[in-house]
Chain A
Amino acid sequence: MRSFTYQRATSSQEAIAAVAANPDARFIAGGTNLLDLMKLGIERPSHLVDISRLPLAEIEDTPEGGLRIGAEVRNSDLAADLRVRNRYPVLAQALLAGASAQIRNKASTAGNLLQRTRCYFFYDPNMPCNKRQPGSGCAAIEGFNRMHAILGTSSACIAVHPSDMAVAMAALDAQIETVTPEGETRAIPIGDLHSLPGETPNVETVLRHGEMITAVVLPPPPAGRQIYRKVRDRASYAFALVSVAAVIDAGAGRVLSARIAMGGIAPKPWRLSEAERLLSGAEPSKETFEQVDDAAFAKARGSGDNDFKIMLARRTLRATLAAAIRTA
């Protein structure tokens, strides 16, 4: 670990100014991901600005009937909040499906969104990795890639975004509120927050250096049954092979509306817009599901060890939709 200086910010303004002024500075909140990366020399900040004590840990009702979740709300607190459990159960389920109790007690909402991939080669500084060291190559594409993405990849990177929480937020159409180094606030739809790798897998979000997430705003809860289904290699404390966040409103033999996002399959929470369109207004038949499947995964490509994810994603999606419609 590179030696670093540490600053405990007393205001958002101070924090943003401190990070913006130093290209080697990073925000730190729970530190559950950043510290691991620093120990391994993957992140090498010279200065850390601790924002964990800023007054950003409240969950507030919005006038529209949604929730405004402070950036520093801990994952465990968010999962336990009664409003979240009652009105956004898909989010509570996703949070509790992630990490371990100890990590959820430390991890912040904004940090969860910004956590970095668990690609084995990204995590090993001796290995080529375009995300860690642009231009060095990708060791995963022709190497062991069982955990890797099947959608949204590029010839430079096939890493997957590991968050569960973000997948549920994607299905809920969350907005990310930030403050830029110039002091301006902006609201970013969660679907626009993360960038696809393209030729620059080192660029992971649209945030600028020094721009700070202050809150995540959930619109009023959508109608319908909410389900988060996570498939993984063991029953707890494992990253998703495939996950589905679904909000399905169904009645009288029809799907009225559907919002679906998937995790474990792409470099960002993967919203299935075309599948949602096909489902809305449709009768939940075998044919409908097949059309939905095809729309969702027509472009899916395996890289070898992760080929199974295509079949797994199809089956998990179908099972989740069936469960949601059955119980809606």
Chain B
Amino acid sequence: MSENRTNASPSHTNETYIGRPLDRVDGRLKVTGGAPYAYEHVEIAGAVHGYILGAAIAKGRMAAIDTAEAEKAPGVLYVMTHRNAPSQPDFGPSVTPTVPEVFTRARPMLSDDRVRFYDEPVALIVAETFEAARAAASLIRVRYETEPGRYDMEAHLAEAYAPQRTNAGFETDSAVGDFEGAFAAAEVRLDVSYTTPYQHHNPMEPHATTAVWSGDDLTIYTGAQTIANFRAGIANTLQLPPERVRIVSPFVGGGFGAKLIVHADTVLAALAARVVGRPVKIALTRQQMFANAGHRAKMKHDVRLGADRNGRLVAISHDVFSATSGFEEFCEQTAVFVRALYASQTRRTRHRLIGLDTNRGEWMRSPGEAPGMLAFECAIDEMAEQLGLDPIEFRIRNEPTRDPERDVPFSTRNLVACMQEGAKRFGWKRRNSQPRAMRDGRFLVGYGMAAAMRPNYIGATRARVRLGGNGHLTVQADMTDIGTGTYTILTQIAADATGLPPSAITVELGDSNFPRTAGSGGSWGAASSGSAVHNACLALRERIVAEARRADPSLASVAAGDVDFANGEIRWAGRGEPLGQLVGRLAPSGIEAEGQVERGDDYRNFSQHSYGAHFVEAGVDIDTGEIRIRRMLSTIGAGRILNQKTARSQVIGGMTWGIGAALMEESVLDPRYGHFVNHDLAEYHVPVNADVPFLEVVFLEEHDDKANVLGSKGIGELGVCGTGAAVANAIYNATGVRVREFPITLDKLLAGLA
């Protein structure tokens, strides 16, 4: 099943480290507590602490805010409210003129007396200690004038509107052929509605910032996925030239999309640090994360499928109704994957929004596919059952040969191979397609599967490499490692491209002083920064060769093809010299080069996605409805795997998210008060160790030469896509109960088990 490989480029001659399960190069630092996170940069002297007071209502205005008592409280240095906050630009329209501006727009805080969502910041208290700031916050008295708000998406479905575009700039609607006609005439029809709930990212590291001013220069230590967005966001909010703002984010305790843009902690720390003349640290509490750090919006999915009796889809429709905020729109691209997943003569996808008086949804791991495939891949399972077909066979019968809507070829697409290989390894043939037919003691047992697909992106990225006179290579980029293993894979890529061992390479990330990258998000980080580092290393080699030839004209006779970099040496037709010796001799201060990558023709001319298939065995207690995942296997076709260990970690993390999405994760919005009721980790459940069985991951050998110079594709989000549907399909197979309202908690199964 491996793809034909392109002719090896020079960089492939030293393919030694890419692909290996290299341990994280930053692992020791992290587990020994030596990796500083945003709140922990100990070298910053004299930092004081900020605490954000959030609004106790969701809509209205502050008629009065009394801070006198708080200002007199012990240790308090400063209280900021809308009455004294530094001037900032207006927030502006709900939708930015262009897609990129949503990441960089000004995000003013404490700018007026309005309350637009529950727990929106209404004051910042800065004190000598966190405890003093928090205690003082409880002394602030706010008199609210509450206004009736819109909080219940279902109650306002009739007011749904079509946005101009979805997130990432996709068309709001798509249509191929006459869906309505084909659906009405289809021999077999399915017309179902699913709902997916509000969810929160909850990275282990809460949103936190330490802001330090030095004259007119501002340094922000924070947890950022994309350094450039933070620099622009702060520069625009504080009305500073971007070059005055430095963002430092060497380690990030999880992002999952929640750290793509600046939030309250960053803006308020920057504002307050200037006023008090000392560094200011702010971290959101876990409870504050639920209102102030983004979430995935609640959605209703109407899925209609029409097929002929042979199991060929003739009509596909996925309509999504999503909650969003009235003051800032976010339209997750939930049905966009449907445009490329299965073949059908007709197809329709539509996105609609309901504006509410809440904060808006933001990007959350696998925007689009995570909620979309949860619903759609369950509907596919339902349709397969109606047709009397095995769900894998049904999908194979609808496998397209080209991207069905864009009408371009796929770069690589191993979905069928993923399903077949996964079925073989999982023992899918032991599945009884009749629900409730498998039993183990008091547990009903079921098997389920689902397909996974996630677009492969690449973003404009630069990187710098510098080989020192001591032979040590330093790689620099404003790329971030949000726990994915970026430090490690970039080390491997640089090792293979230069012939140096990983021990001779240091990767430095997360600093706006380094060359600008696309950052971490959308699973594009490895491809974008990896390609740029690779290209930088090739440029470095050229410079080294040129320097050497200049110093020693006799080398001119060695053909370029006979110059090689391997084992820490440069080899001229077989005659080697250690790289460090050569650079020390010719350029003691080091040799530097830059590399870059941007979207090319292959990005536009090919349909590029990563694929996978998830298999789940679930048990359901026949007495109580308790659900236990017994085993899980995912087969992945995602191009070349850069590091077997970190890639596997990405996938099993995603699979665990899939378990959470299927069974647990739900933020409950109170329709009376507009707040998330279960706003802590005791009540917002994610899977714990006991919920997660051994997760098996199989990577198919693949090399996508259209994706990038490395042949890799994005893998950070693929593990989430469709996984929850595989869990849900297994529960259906176990119980015969089809729950269409996620998450599937035991109360939704009980009646059906009787």
Contact = CB atoms under 8 A, between A and B. Distances in A.
Interface of A: 1-3, 39-41, 118, 120-121, 123-124, 126-127, 139, 142-144, 146-147, 231-239, 241-242, 308, 311-312, 315-316, 318-319
Interface residues of B, number: 37
Contacts of A312: 624-625, 746-747, 750
Contacts of B690: 234-237
B678 A120 contact: yes
Nearest to A142: B672
Contacts of A143: 670, 672, 677
B169 interface: no
B624 A315 contact: yes
A310 to B, nearest CB: 10
B664 interface: yes
A231 B624 contact: yes
B688 A1 contact: no
Nearest to B442: A319
A233 B56 contact: no
A231 B751 contact: no
Contact of B746 (A120, A126, A241): A241
A75 B23 CA distance: 38
B626 A231 contact: yes
A233 B746 contact: yes
A233 B745 contact: yes
Contacts of B680: 123
B178 interface: no
Interface stretch (B131-139, B224-232, B642-650): B131-139
A315 B747 CA distance: 12
Interface string B736-754: 0000000001110011000
A146 B678 CA distance: 11
| Top-8 shortest CB links A-B | A308-B747, A235-B690, A319-B623, A236-B690, A126-B56, A120-B677, A144-B677, A231-B624
Contacts of A39: 134
B318 to A, nearest CB: 29
Contacts of B74: 3
Given A3-B131, A124-B679, A234-B663, 10 more contacts: A41-B138, A143-B672, A233-B745, A233-B746, A234-B664, A234-B688, A242-B624, A308-B747, A315-B750, A316-B624
B240 to A, nearest CB: 35
Nearest to A41: B138
A121 B678 CA distance: 9
Given A2-B138, A238-B685, A319 B673 contact: no
Interface string B665-700: 000101011010111101101011111000000000
A234 B626 CA distance: 8
A235 B691 contact: yes
Nearest to A231: B624
27 contacts: A1-B135, A3-B74, A3-B131, A39-B134, A118-B682, A121-B677, A124-B679, A126-B675, A127-B673, A139-B670, A142-B672, A143-B677, A233-B685, A233-B745, A234-B687, A234-B691, A235-B628, A235-B690, A235-B691, A236-B691, A308-B747, A308-B750, A311-B750, A311-B751, A312-B625, A315-B623, A318-B623
Interface in B110-169: 131, 134-135, 138
Contacts of A40: 287
Contacts of B675: 124, 126
Interface string B441-458: 010000000000000000
B689 A120 contact: no
B682 to A, nearest CB: 6
Contacts of B624: 231, 242, 312, 315-316, 319
A124 B678 CA distance: 10
A300 to B, nearest CB: 15
A144 B623 contact: no
A199 B624 CA distance: 33
Contact of A1 (B56, B134, B442, B751): B134
A3 B135 CA distance: 7
A239 B679 CA distance: 15
Contacts of A237: 688, 690
Contact of A144 (B134, B287, B670): B670
A2 B135 contact: yes
A127 B678 CA distance: 13
Contacts of A234: 663-664, 685, 687-688, 690-691
- Residue in A39, A124, A127, A139 whose Cβ sees the most chain B Cβ within 10 Å: A124
A124 B673 CA distance: 12
B683 A120 contact: yes
A1 B74 CA distance: 13
Contacts of A139: 670, 672-673
A237 B682 CA distance: 8
Contacts of A147: 683
Nearest to B682: A118
A237 B287 CA distance: 18
Contacts of A319: 442, 623-624
Nearest to B625: A312
Contacts of A242: 624
A311 B751 CA distance: 8
Contacts of A308: 747, 750
B566 to A, nearest CB: 50
Contacts of A41: 138
A123 B746 CA distance: 25
A326 B200 CA distance: 44
A316 B691 CA distance: 20
Contacts of B623: 315-316, 318-319
A233 B747 CA distance: 9
B93 to A, nearest CB: 30
Interface hub of A1, A232, A233, A311 (most chain B Cβ within 10 A)? A233
Nearest to B678: A120
A52 B56 CA distance: 36
Contacts of A1: 131, 134-135
Nearest to B748: A308
Interface in B283-329: 287
A99 B329 CA distance: 39
B670 to A, nearest CB: 6
Contact of B688 (A124, A142, A236, A311): A236
A238 B683 CA distance: 8
Contacts of B135: 1-3
Contacts of A123: 680
A231 B745 CA distance: 12
A74 B442 CA distance: 34
Contact of A236 (B442, B682, B689, B746): B689
Nearest to A44: B138
A239 B745 CA distance: 14
B195 to A, nearest CB: 16
Which of A139, A146, A147 is most buried by chain B, counting CB atoms within 10 A of its CB? A146
Contacts of B664: 233-234
Contacts of A233: 664, 685, 745-746
A233 B682 CA distance: 11
A322 to B, nearest CB: 9
A234 B747 CA distance: 13
Nearest to A311: B750
A126 B626 CA distance: 34
A250 B678 CA distance: 43
A118 B683 contact: yes
Contacts of A315: 623-624, 750
A41 B285 CA distance: 14
Given A1-B131, A316-B624, A319-B624, A144 B750 contact: no
B55 to A, nearest CB: 9
A250 B276 CA distance: 73
A121 B673 CA distance: 11
A118 B673 CA distance: 19
Nearest to A143: B670
B290 to A, nearest CB: 11
A133 to B, nearest CB: 13
A4 to B, nearest CB: 10
A203 to B, nearest CB: 24
